[in-house]
Amino acid sequence: MVICISLVYSILARVPKSTVLIHNHLQAETDHRKFQKTPIEMADPRAPKVKNRAAAPVQITAEQLLREAQERQETGHSAPRQKVEDFEELHEYRGRKRKEFEEVIRRTRQDLRAWTKYATWEAAQSEFARARSVFERALDVAPTSEKLWLNYCEMELKARNIQHARNLFDRAVTLLPRINQIWYKYVYLEELLGNIPGARQVFERWMAWEPDEKAWSAYIKMEARYEEYDRASQLYERMIACHPDPKNWIKWAKYEEDRQKIDRAREIFQMAFEYFGDEEEDLERAQSIYTAFAKMESRLKEYERARTIYKYALDRLPRSKAVGLHASYTTFEKQFGDRAAIESTVLGKRRIQYEEELANGGQLNYDVWFEYARLEESSLKSCNHDDPSKAIERIREVYERAVAQVPPSQEKRYWRRYIFLWLGYATFEETETKDYDRTKQVYEACIKLIPHKRFTFSKVWEMYAHFELRRLNLEKARKIMGTAIGLAPKPKSFKVYLDMELQLREFDRCRKLYEKFLEFDSTYPSAWIQFASLERGLMETDRARAIYEMAISQTDLYDPECVWKAYIDFEEEEEEWERARQLYERLAMASGHVKVWTSWAKFEMSTAKTISDRYLGLDLNEDDNEAPQGPVEKDEEAAERAKLQGLGLARQVLQRGYDDIRKRWKNEPEGPMRDNLKEQRSIILDHWKLLETEIGDEAALSKVEGMMPKPMRRWRKLDDTGDKEEYWDLVFPDDEKERNPGTFKLLQLAHAWKAKQQEQRSNTQTDMLSDESIDEQPTPATTEVN
């Protein structure tokens, strides 16, 4: 801190006096302005200061800043140029530089860049002996440095010392035979000098070390440039002995093909096949050779040869390991094959995909098995095989592999998709191969596999029985369905068996089956209804009625409403209307639901309409043999009387229903059931109002409208906390009349007065409109004549 303050004082001491005076003057003017107030500030001391945002008189641009920076930049110092005038100065200069170089390499002996700079400088001075000496000293330090050898050789070549360069390359390749760059430079030098035998001799020395493929390719390209094709072919053979990779075989065969030596190229491919052998791993490595051989035959338009090569390889390779080969074969068939060949290749590609999915943990993925089986079946239907037995065996193999994947769990949901594999297998054997014995074996194997104590599949029993029926083995089919019912009874199994016996018109057997069905499950309503329908179809109405009575007497019936409705419909179709009314009476006493009362009212109206139509002759069918011939006498009075009687019965039913529901509502405590009964009261009144609107008269309609509920907003407590909630409630007039008779009478009079006022107002408006229309009418023509 003390040092900083002393520096500030020292700086201020060096400032000129004129600068200090200017600073003091500006400071005084600033202080004066600070205490001097404008008129606005004097008027309102809280007013904010207004800043001067006007543009400055002198603008500073970026161009000006850059120009000033460039002008004020100091010029750099460059080393002075030295000019040598005579040999003494030259010797002095060389001695000084050599001393500097020697000092550098003495300090950093392992730094090869210093040695290279030293030798390059000596060569630039045309002191090649000294340059060689420096390089030799450097080689003593690092004899295996590739860069050092190359720089040494490059110096000799620049100085056109060819023999020195050859000697250096010879020394380098002897010392470093695995450095390819030195060999390339050596060969390039000999070829550049036109010494082709010398270059070949260098290559031979290089090849003795068995270098990589690029070195062999360079040797072969050199021989090809000088049209030594036989030598190049021999070099390919030697390269294969050193590097027997598939791509090298392919290069050799392509070289012979380009020379138009087709037979030699085929021999090379055959040699390659013999070298790699027929083992699976060797064939997988040699896939590219088969593909290249086939493509060569395709270029030569030998399509059958190419197809044979592809098939030979594909038959010996697993599908999952021949993806590239399959892709090449597919492309080949698309270009040169017919439709059957193209479809075959596409199928092969799809097979590989499915096999890969199954191999990657999808053995229990039954959807893949389904698609795989459908693929094989489609190939059988669309193929042009001379021997379709191979396709059939392939399909059977797929199905056998699929059904062998049994679900590990004993839960039915895991078995549903699996069972359809068995059914597809059996259907294929029956419809495609016509092998009925094998079909029977498939069904029996499937049935043995299913754990019937836990669950069963009625579809399997059904398809097995129908198969035997198609084979005209009726007893066998009955035995199968009997086994299904005895081993694992299910409603669907009974239905299948009953449908089969019904189609055979074995009604006694159907009766026995229905009895067994009801013994197995008496709570199943469809069984009772179908049993009664069977008896009705056989004109056994008493038996049907007895079955219905037994059904509605069951206390644990699953859906008794269905049985009641079927019973009532049965009596209605038989035109036993009194029996139907008795059934409605029993059902209303048992249930009392609003649907029962509304259905009863509809029944009365439909019955009245039927009787009325008969009196009017409207329900006679022209195709009916019992229809009377000639004109039909109509009794309109009787028809109208029947309608009125039906309407009266419907009103009585609805009134009884409303009273019954209202009585039960009054006896029901507060809760959801009470609210439900209130909704039922509203529903039955809506139905009643609709009935009176369509058929009834004004008096009856006004009576029903007077019974209709009205929505009212009310409040109720939620919990013991005292909180209340708002809700809408239906208020029936009869309930209000019973609760508050006086208030209800007053409200009725008020509503009547309001209705009367509205009626008078509407009549007045009607009279005014009629008077206006009369005034607007034109004067009659007779008045004008008079």
**Residue scoring higher pLDDT (188 or 7):** 188
Where b means 16+ CB within 10 Å and e means fewer, 266-298 reads bebbeebbeebeeeeeebeebbbbbbbbbbbbb
Give 465-509 as a DSSP string.
HHHHHHTT-HHHHHHHHHHHHHHS--HHHHHHHHHHHHHTT-HHH
**In sequence order, what are the residues at sequence separation of 6 or more whose Cβ sits closer than 8 angstroms to the Cβ of residue 536?**
544, 570
In the structure, what pLDDT confidence band is assigned to residue 459 with cuts at 50, 70 and 90? very high
> Of 15-19, 184-188, 202-206, 479-483, where does mean pLDDT reach its minimum?
15-19
Measure the CA–CA gap between 428 and 29, rounded to whole angstroms: 113
Q: Are 145 and 112 in contact (CB under 8 A)?
A: yes
Mean pLDDT of 609-629: 66
- What tens digit of pLDDT does each residue of 229-267 get? 999 999 999 999 999 999 999 999 999 999 899 999 999
Tokens of 151: 């720089």
Task: Spell out the long-range contacts of 113-117 with Cβ–Cβ below 8 A and sequence spacing 24 or more.
Answer: 115/141, 115/148, 116/148, 116/151
Which residues are 713's β-sheet partners?
Answer: 728
pLDDT tops 50 at residue 774: no
**In sequence order, what are the residues at sequence separation of 6 or more whose Cβ sits closer than 8 angstroms to the Cβ of residue 495?**
none
Mean pLDDT of 720-731: 76
667: left (phi over 0), alpha (psi -120 to 50) or beta: alpha
What pLDDT does residue 768 have?
59
What pLDDT does residue 294 have?
92
How much is the pTM? Answer: 0.59
> Of 43-52, 217-226, 307-316, 351-360, where does mean pLDDT reach its minimum?
43-52
Highest mean predicted confidence (pLDDT) among 289-298, 371-380, 555-564, 722-731: 289-298
Measure the CA–CA gap between 299 and 549, rounded to whole angstroms: 88
Measure the CA–CA gap between 350 and 130, rounded to whole angstroms: 76
What pLDDT does residue 750 have?
66
Mean pLDDT of 593-604: 90
> Of 204-218, 226-240, 570-584, 714-728, where does mean pLDDT reach its minimum?
714-728
What's the Cα-to-Cα distance from 505 to each of 481, 534, 560, rounded to whole Å? 17, 11, 29
What's the Cα-to-Cα distance from 97 to each of 92, 94, 118, 121, 127, rounded to whole Å? 9, 5, 9, 9, 13
Tokens of 671: 């809760």
What pLDDT does residue 631 have?
54
**Looking up tokens 């005292």, which residue turns up?**
722
What pLDDT does residue 440 have?
93
- What tens digit of pLDDT does each residue of 752-771 get? 777 777 777 777 766 555 55
What pLDDT does residue 767 have?
58
In the structure, what pLDDT confidence band is assigned to residue 784 with cuts at 50, 70 and 90? very low
> Of 32-46, 289-303, 590-604, where does mean pLDDT reach its minimum?
32-46
**In sequence order, what are the residues at sequence separation of 6 or more whose Cβ sits closer than 8 angstroms to the Cβ of residue 37?**
none
pLDDT tops 60 at residue 11: no
**Residue scoring higher pLDDT (715 or 584):** 584
Measure the CA–CA gap between 250 and 258, rounded to whole angstroms: 12
Measure the CA–CA gap between 135 and 149, rounded to whole angstroms: 9
pLDDT tops 90 at residue 201: yes
> Of 129-143, 492-506, 628-642, 771-785, where does mean pLDDT reach its minimum?
771-785
In the structure, what pLDDT confidence band is assigned to residue 182 with cuts at 50, 70 and 90? very high
Mean pLDDT of 546-560: 88
Which residues are 731's β-sheet partners?
Answer: 710
Please provide the size of the chain in residues: 786
3-state SS assignment for residue 16? coil
What's the Cα-to-Cα distance from 256 to each of 262, 268, 286, rounded to whole Å? 7, 9, 19
> Of 50-54, 132-136, 643-647, where does mean pLDDT reach its minimum?
50-54
pLDDT tops 70 at residue 48: no
Q: CA neighbours within 13 Å on the CB side: how many for 680? A: 24
Closest C-alpha to 701, from 657, 651, 641: 651
3-state SS assignment for residue 619? coil
3-state SS assignment for residue 542? helix
> How many other C-beta atoms are found inside a 10 Å radius of the C-beta of residue 43?
9
What's the Cα-to-Cα distance from 454 to each of 410, 426, 480, rounded to whole Å? 8, 24, 19
Closest C-alpha to 447, from 459, 460, 462: 460
What pLDDT does residue 189 have?
93
What pLDDT does residue 222 have?
94
Q: How far is CA 637 from the centre of its chain?
A: 71
In the structure, what pLDDT confidence band is assigned to residue 785 with cuts at 50, 70 and 90? very low
Measure the CA–CA gap between 527 and 514, rounded to whole angstroms: 7
Measure the CA–CA gap between 227 and 244, rounded to whole angstroms: 25
- What tens digit of pLDDT does each residue of 676-696 get? 888 888 898 888 889 888 888
**Residue scoring higher pLDDT (498 or 625):** 498
**Residue scoring higher pLDDT (391 or 759):** 391
Phi then psi dihedrals of residue 63, to 5 deg: -60, -40
What pLDDT does residue 769 have?
53
Tokens of 401: 């592999």
Measure the CA–CA gap between 272 and 529, rounded to whole angstroms: 81
Measure the CA–CA gap between 324 and 287, rounded to whole angstroms: 8
505: left (phi over 0), alpha (psi -120 to 50) or beta: left
| CA R_g for the chain | 57
Mean pLDDT of 433-445: 93
Measure the CA–CA gap between 219 and 380, rounded to whole angstroms: 55
What pLDDT does residue 770 have?
54
What average pLDDT does the structure give for the chain? 82
What's the Cα-to-Cα distance from 82 to each of 85, 89, 94, 705, rounded to whole Å? 10, 10, 13, 129
What's the Cα-to-Cα distance from 203 to each of 206, 209, 238, 291, 318, rounded to whole Å? 5, 10, 13, 33, 43
Given 3-state DSSP classes, what are the helix, strand and coil percentages for the chain, each rounded to the nearest 5? 75, 0, 25
Q: Are 592 and 664 in contact (CB under 8 A)?
A: yes
What pLDDT does residue 269 have?
92
